[in-house]
Amino acid sequence: MEIENYIVSTDQQLVACVLSGDPVAFEHLFNRYRDSIYQLYVQRTGGNADDASDLLQETFVKVYLNLQRYDSRYTFGQWVYTIARNTFIDYTRRRRDDTVSIDRLGERMSSSLGGPTPEERMITDQNRARLEAILDRMSPRYRQLIELRFFKEYSYEEIAAKLSLPMGTVKTGIHRAREQLCRFIADRGGGER
């Protein structure tokens, strides 16, 4: 599809393209909602840009993993906002010693959006397998940072202490790891580089 076609496509058309295997369409969906969701998180975290960035990435990983569950009776923006709101609620309730595995994360996402049908469960399992494949492609350092920050929900300070690294190194590493994760997701859901 030509770039102009992505720009003029509706959200529902882009969702259909993503579900049929077009990673560029997801990038356009992300770009449409990135700034507004980020600003929402900046406001709700009291201006904490690091947490806002983390929440934004977490939101769009959830959007990607659950895209097949989007109901076109609602606007895509409403659906993304609902995921963002639920992600923020989870963020405020987290306990630092939570050890959420990738499987548990998928279960939490499914339960927060209503019970899955067998078809949705199969698609979620496939997406979880794709996420695992993407994580396997990441460098060990970046994978460790992603797992600590997003699956085990460690704070930056806890990660710095656990890995005996300066705070700046941790922040930079997590930023680069998130970028790599998003690049791999956009790259055909974890296909060729």
The residue type at 40? L
pTM for the full predicted model: 0.54
User: What angle separates helix 76-93 from helix 11-19, to the nearest 10 degrees?
Assistant: 70
Look at residue 108 in the predicted model and tell me its pLDDT.
52
SS3 155: coil
What Cα–Cα distance (Å) separates residue 27 from each residue in 30, 42, 98, 182? Answer: 5, 22, 31, 9
d(C-alpha 175, C-alpha 56), whole Å: 12
Residue 75: alpha-carbon gap to chain centroid? 19
Look at residue 95 in the predicted model and tell me its pLDDT.
39
Domain parsing of the chain, residue ranges: 3-186
Averaged pLDDT, groups of 10, the chain, 193 residues long: 84 91 89 93 88 90 89 89 90 56 50 57 68 84 86 83 91 85 66 41
